[in-house]
A and B are shown apart, each in its own frame.
Chain A
Amino acid sequence: MTMLNDPSMKEIINDFCDESASLFDQLEKSLNSLEENPSNTKELENFGQVIDRIMGAAKSIGATEIATFCELGKVIGYKSSQIKDIPLIEVVVAILFDSVDMLRKMNLSLKAGNDTSMNKLNTKAFVTRLNWLSEKFKDIERASCAPVSTTLNQNSIDDLMKSLGL
């Protein structure tokens, strides 16, 4: 049973939703700043940092759709902070605005405990769009944005730590 369907965890889910809502405000603040000045790519780095926080907690409570959105948003934010192509940054900002909007809707559905409204959001189509955008940055290497093939699960980490003598 994940936390999402554990009634005793409802308070933590609500806290997650409230904390995330305030972090969405921070994400939009970064995007507003980028809209005014697309060359201020430090704001994309900030975006990546903030959405990464939401991702970790979303994974922990079992909100996998929100976690997937955040994971892609993090990769796009961090990697696009390293480019100088202003027209592409403008596309990134527009899509990230839409992503935050979608995350807000998902967050509201989660807080309401409403699976039906979550299903109506058509998140899969949006994930495809985010994947398409993240592909644009696949050649950019960035710490904290390793491809899935190089990330380890808990068992692999345990094996690696054993081989390192721990």
Chain B
Amino acid sequence: MSLKADIKILIVDDMSTMRKIIKNMLTQIGFTNLSEADDGASAWPMIEGAIKEGRPYEFIISDWNMPQMSGLDLLKNVRSTAGLEKLPFLMITAEAEQGNVVIAVKAGVSNFIVKPFSAQVLKEKIDKIFNK
């Protein structure tokens, strides 16, 4: 793995099983510094808090469809915050419509993954995002 193993990653999904699956895959890939949030609404204060502590997240992996704050709204918050304009942001969705992909790209998403996906696909996307 070319990326450092302790890169600070935040996993955002409203289904705890999905968070476990993603954590499991990231651990398989070799990452060690993983945090999780169960909605965009709970992720956002974590992201803000990490900035204040001077240890910002370096990568966000978020589900699209969540009840209180969607992945898209979380992405928009991230992109409109000074210093986070280029924070790598990977969106995960169960069903991707062309229109939604375009909206997310315009909002500044770094890449997209459709469920179901393997650790190999996740690794390829991460490599692509960080090797741009």
Residues of chain A whose beta carbon lies under 8 Å from any beta carbon of chain B: 3, 12, 15-16, 19, 49, 52-57, 59-62, 71, 143-144, 146, 150-154, 157, 160-161, 164, 166
Contacts and interface: CB of A to CB of B under 8 A. Distances in A.
Given A59-B94, A146-B97, A161-B105, A15 B20 contact: yes
Interface of B is mostly: mixed
Contact of B21 (A57, A150, A161): A57
Contact of A19 (B16, B24, B94, B96): B16
Contacts of A54: 15
A153 B101 CA distance: 11
B59 to A, nearest CB: 16
Contact of A164 (B18, B63, B96, B105): B105
Interface residues of B, number: 29
A152 B97 contact: yes
Interface in B74-120: 94-98, 100-102, 105, 110-117
Given A16-B17, A53-B15, A57-B21, A151 B111 contact: no
Given A12-B20, A60-B115, A157-B114, A152 B15 contact: no
Contacts of B100: 143
B14 interface: yes
A69 B102 CA distance: 28
Interface of B: 14-18, 20-21, 24, 63, 65, 67, 94-98, 100-102, 105, 110-117, 121
Nearest to A154: B114
A81 to B, nearest CB: 14
A79 to B, nearest CB: 14
A5 to B, nearest CB: 14
B120 to A, nearest CB: 12
A81 B69 CA distance: 20
Give 7 nearest A-B pairs by CB, closest first: A56-B94, A146-B97, A16-B17, A57-B17, A60-B116, A53-B15, A152-B96
A12 B24 contact: yes
Contact of A15 (B17, B113, B115, B116): B17
Name the residue among B24, B95, B114 with the largest chain A CB count within 10 angstroms: B95
